């Protein structure tokens, strides 16, 4: 075998491996740019929905046809009465859609009964520092539960799935760590509820607790940074291969 053949074969093999890795890195960069475009389109759509005037809540017959892609953050208005059922707390360390909410606290999830008898779960707003004092939310929610109907305006939201590391709920405190109103309904005996819940915008209770409010969509957008990282790594691999290959040339 020609002695020069082995180095050439090694050079070709490493070259093919380098080209493969460069193709993968460039593909990841292009994918991040595509995701950036999709994210911008999503932000534009959600911003338009949150800024639009509220419309009537769709009738129950249409609830199964609502989807996050088409209806998340859509502003709606309806008449309902908060039901005399146990409320639930959902832990929060802050909010990406409420600029007026920061620090630890909980969201107050309360079932509301419509004029037709259907139940829609309402996130009635934020309650600060409730992790150690369940009574703060109990007292606040008790003031909401009256026999009088109220016109509620808010945003359609869909349940949040618990992650791998999401703590389990504390049923004694009626405390959840994911905004999963369907799990709350099942555990607390609310009966059949709408497949979505409502993030309440108004009315604001006289006490200000729970604290509802308007939503502003601020989705994290690091895709350009990630794309540039992948493209830079691809360029560095090409440069490193060129330097290595040049050093293997016979003198």
Q: Per-residue pLDDT tens for 148-163?
A: 899 999 999 999 888 7
**Whether residue 83 is found in the same domain as residue 182:** yes
Q: How many domains does the chain have?
A: 2
Helix (H), strand (E) at residue 119: strand 119-128
Query: Does residue 58 lie in a domain region?
Result: no
* 170 and 240 co-located in one domain: no
Q: Are residues 85 and 192 in the same domain?
A: yes
More confident residue, 5 or 210: 210
**Looking at the structure, do residues 82 and 172 belong to the same domain, yes or no?**
yes
d(CA 153, CA 79): 9
Share of the chain above pLDDT 70, in %: 88
Looking at residue 102, its pLDDT comes to: 77
Expressed as residue numbers, the domain containing 168 is: 74-202
Q: Between 223-247 and 5-51, two packed helices, what is the crossing angle to 10 degrees? A: 170
- Residue 5, pLDDT > 80, answer no
Do 174 and 238 have their domain in common? no
Cα gap 142→121, rounded to integer Å? 16
Bridge partners for 206 per DSSP: none
The answer to whether residue 63 sits within a structural domain is no
The answer on pLDDT for 32 being more than 80 is: yes
Based on the domain organization, do 99 and 150 belong to the same domain?
A: yes
Q: Collect all residues with Cβ–Cβ distance below 8 Å to 1 and sequence separation of at least 6.
A: none
Mean of the per-residue pLDDT values for the chain? 85
pLDDT value at residue 251: 54
Q: Are 87 and 195 part of one and the same domain?
A: yes
Q: Is the peptide bond before 60 cis (omega within 30 degrees of 0)?
A: no
Residue 40 has pLDDT above 80, yes or no: no
> What pLDDT score was predicted for residue 242?
83
* 225 in a structural domain: yes
Confidence of residue 119 (pLDDT cuts 50, 70, 90): very high
Chain length of the chain: 251
Domain annotation covers residue 17: yes
Q: Would you tell me how many other CB atoms lie within 10 Å of the CB of residue 120?
A: 23
Q: What pLDDT was estimated at residue 8?
A: 67
* Residue 54 lies inside a defined structural domain of this protein: no
Whether 178 maps to a domain, the answer reads yes
Here the tokens at position 120 are 């829609």
Dist. CA 116–CA 129, nearest whole Å: 36
> Are residues 139 and 98 part of one domain?
yes
Task: Classify the phi-psi angles of 78: left when phi > 0, otherwise alpha if psi is within -120 to 50, otherwise beta.
Answer: beta
pLDDT tens digits along 44-97? 777 778 888 999 999 999 999 999 888 988 999 999 999 999 999 999 887 777
The per-residue pLDDT for 176 is: 94
Residue from 105, 191, 178, 112 nearest 149 by CA: 112
Instruction: Tell me what pLDDT residue 208 has.
Output: 85
Residue 104 lies in a domain: yes
Residue 101 in tokens: 């909410």
On whether residue 171 sits in a domain, the answer given is: yes
The 10s digit of each residue's pLDDT in 229-246 is 988 898 998 888 888 777
Instruction: Give pLDDT, residue 12.
Output: 75
Name the more confident of 83 and 16: 83
Provide the phi-psi class of 218: left if phi over 0, else alpha when psi is between -120 and 50, else beta: beta
One domain for residues 192 and 226:
no
Q: Are residues 182 and 238 in the same domain?
A: no
pTM of this prediction exceeds 0.85: no
pLDDT on residue 10? 65
Do residues 79 and 193 both lie within one domain? yes
- Mean pLDDT computed over 127-151: 79
Pick the range with the lowest mean pLDDT from 84-93, 129-138, 169-178: 129-138
Residues 187 and 95 in one domain: yes
């Amino acid at each position: 075998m020609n002695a020069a053949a082995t180095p050439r074969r090694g050079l070709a093999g490493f070259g093919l491996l380098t080209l493969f890795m460069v193709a993968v890195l460039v593909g990841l960069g292009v994918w991040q740019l595509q995701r950036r475009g999709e994210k911008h389109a999503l932000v534009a759509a959600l911003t338009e929905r949150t800024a639009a005037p509220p419309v009537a809540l769709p009738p129950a017959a249409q609830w199964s046809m609502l989807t996050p892609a088409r209806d998340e953050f859509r502003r709606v208005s309806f008449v309902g009465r908060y039901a005399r059922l146990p409320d639930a707390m959902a832990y929060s360390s802050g909010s990406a859609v409420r600029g007026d909410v920061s620090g630890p606290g909980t969201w107050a999830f309360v079932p509301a009964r419509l004029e037709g008898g259907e139940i829609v779960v309402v996130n009635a707003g934020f309650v600060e520092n409730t992790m150690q004092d369940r009574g703060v939310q109990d007292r606040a929610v008790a003031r909401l539960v009256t026999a009088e109907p109220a016109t509620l305006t808010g945003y359609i939201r869909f349940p949040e799935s618990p992650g791998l590391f999401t703590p389990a709920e504390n049923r004694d405190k009626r405390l959840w760590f994911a905004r999963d109103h369907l799990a709350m309904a099942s555990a607390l005996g609310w009966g059949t509820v709408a497949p979505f819940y409502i993030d309440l915008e108004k009315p604001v209770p006289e006490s200000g607790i729970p604290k509802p409010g308007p939503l502003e969509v601020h989705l994290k957008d690091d895709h350009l940074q990630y794309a540039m990282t992948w493209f830079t790594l691809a360029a560095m691999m090409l440069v490193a291969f060129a330097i290595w290959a040049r050093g293997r040339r016979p003198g």
